[in-house]
Amino acid sequence: MDNVRDISETAAARSVRQAALAAARQNKERRAQQENHPNVRVLENLLDAPGKVRVASPKKKKTLIARLKLRHMVIVASFLGLVVVPAIVGTSYMLFVAADQYHSSSSFSVRSIDSAGAASDILGMFTQSSGGSTASDSYILMDYVMSERMVAELDQHFNLEELFKPRGADFFYGIGKDLPIEDKLDYWRSMASINFDMSSGIMQLEIKSFDPSQSQEITNFVLARCEALINDLSMKAREEVLKTARSEILLAEKRLADARIALREFRDVSQEVDPIEGAKLATQLVGGLEQQLASLNADLSTARAQMGEDTPRIRVLKARIGSIEKQIDFERQRLGSGGATGEQQAATGNSPQAGQDVAGRLQIYEQLETEREFGERTYTAALAGMESARMDANGKQRYLAVFVNPTLSEMAQYPARLLNSFLVLLAGLFVWGVLTMSYYNIRDRA
């Protein structure tokens, strides 16, 4: 029994000792893994905690220190190269090399005569809400000032390469030589700015150069070109409106002239100034003949009651009655009653204009007279439209209202030296920070 008990105790002690050894080995492996983790190594290297017992060999510890010194030197060198040196160079350039720039500003507005006349005071000329009708012209001016056309005109008048040539060693803000028009346009856009306030319709122009008098001269030139452009656009719009009105007048004049010529030809052919009056006279003539016919018929009836048919008086009365009846029939045929139709007369060659049909001539005359009257009314309406278009074009004519003349600077305000130096420093810090964080991010994930 004692032997069995000893054997069981020995087995139990061995199993406990094996379990303890296994636990100790797992703890050692876990501790080794934690010590070898990159984050732990970085923290240990940065903190260098006192009392930390390093298990690594002296050779491995020396290699780790050398790597830490190299990494720190690279970081410091990158900070100096990306932040300190550019900041010093940029600040020195801004303070000692960059040439002074003087600006000249002007404020103006594109107005129309009708909107300016409707304003009750001088302020209303520039702040009236109706000025929105000239907003498109204002945007045209903005595009024109910043266009290649303006650069070409400035280059022709001032010679931009001579005007903006580098002052001293300031090659950054000066213009180069023999540049294409695109590069000159980019440089001009860096030296000029124009803003438009939609609510008030006021435009603000600012131009920079290396001399205050030159800035003022350039601004005056730009304003003069803008005024010429507005006048040209206004004149073209006015001429376009008046051109349409003039074409309407020419058409009305031609129509009236054709109607008058046709009426004159009709009068030459018919030999009547006014067929209406001729028709009235013909009607009166027929009426008079009918009265005579009625009187002769009454005399004939009376004579028949007193004498025979073969008496000379009755024969005379019958002859006169027959003549009057023929005359009445002839006059009625001339009036068109009972005669041939217009188509039959045209077929037989007896046209109304030949004097064979008063009704036909009267119809043609009324048509010609109606055409003439319509032509006169059309011509009168065209003249009135021409006058209205002229007044409307004059009322909507645009002009450039300059209420702040180009200024003359007494102190250089450009370039913004402190601001530009700070921006260089900020840009260097940003680049250095991004590169440093990217390096540590890649290193931790490696």
Band of residue 426 on the pLDDT scale cut at 50, 70, 90? very high
Average pLDDT over residues 380-389: 81
Higher pLDDT, 11 or 95: 95
Which pLDDT tens digit goes with each residue over 42-80? Answer: 445 554 444 444 444 444 444 555 555 677 788 888 888
Residue-wise pLDDT tens digits, 281-337: 667 777 777 787 788 778 778 777 777 777 777 777 778 888 877 777 776 666 664
CA–CA gap between residue 328 and residue 318 (Å, rounded): 15
Is the pLDDT confidence value at 122 over 80?
no
Report pLDDT for 277. Answer: 65
Smallest Cα–Cα separation from 113: which of 386, 388, 384, 400?
Answer: 400
Instruction: Please give the residue that has the higher pLDDT: either 339 or 160.
Output: 160
Contact 157, 150 (CB under 8 A): no
For residue 161, the model assigns a pLDDT of 87
Helix axes 2-36, 38-47, angle to 10 degrees: 70
Q: Is the pTM value of this prediction over 0.75? A: no
| CATH class of the domain defined by 101-243+404-412 | alpha beta
The residue with greater pLDDT, 358 or 108, is: 108
The helix/strand/coil state of 104 is strand
Query: Is residue 400 a contact partner of residue 110, using CB atoms and an 8 Å limit?
Result: yes
| Residues 177, 157: Cα–Cα separation, whole Å | 17
- Whether the pLDDT of residue 352 is over 70: the answer is no
Query: What is the gyration radius of the CA atoms in the chain, in angstroms?
Result: 56
The confidence score (pLDDT) of residue 297 equals 79
Taking Cα atoms as reference points, which of 286, 301, 427 lies closest to residue 358? Answer: 286
Report whether pLDDT(160) > 60.
yes
Mean pLDDT of all residues in the chain? 76
Q: Per residue in 16-43, pLDDT tens?
A: 677 777 777 777 777 666 555 555 454 4
Model pLDDT, residue 223:
93
Which of 197-206, 239-248, 328-337: highest mean pLDDT?
Answer: 197-206
Q: What is the mean pLDDT of residues 373-399?
A: 79
Listed ranges 7-11, 319-323, 341-345; the one with the highest mean pLDDT? 319-323
- Residue 235: pLDDT band (50, 70, 90) is confident
User: Quick one: pLDDT at residue 206?
Assistant: 93
pLDDT digits (tens, 9 = 90+) for 256-273: 888 888 888 877 777 766
Distance CA 324, CA 299 (A): 14
Residue 196, helix vs strand vs coil: strand
CB atoms within 10 A of CB 336: 21
Q: Which residue has the higher pLDDT, 313 or 91?
A: 91
What b/e sequence results for 253-285 when a residue is b if at least 16 CB atoms lie within 10 Å of its CB, and e otherwise? eebbeebeeebeebbeebebeebeebbeebeee
d(CA 385, CA 366): 28
Residues 6 or more apart in contact with residue 420 via CB below 8 angstroms:
90, 94
Edge-to-edge order in the sheet of strand 202-209: 192-196, 202-209, 102-112, 398-404
Domain ranges of the chain: 1-36, 52-98+415-446, 101-243+404-412, 253-393
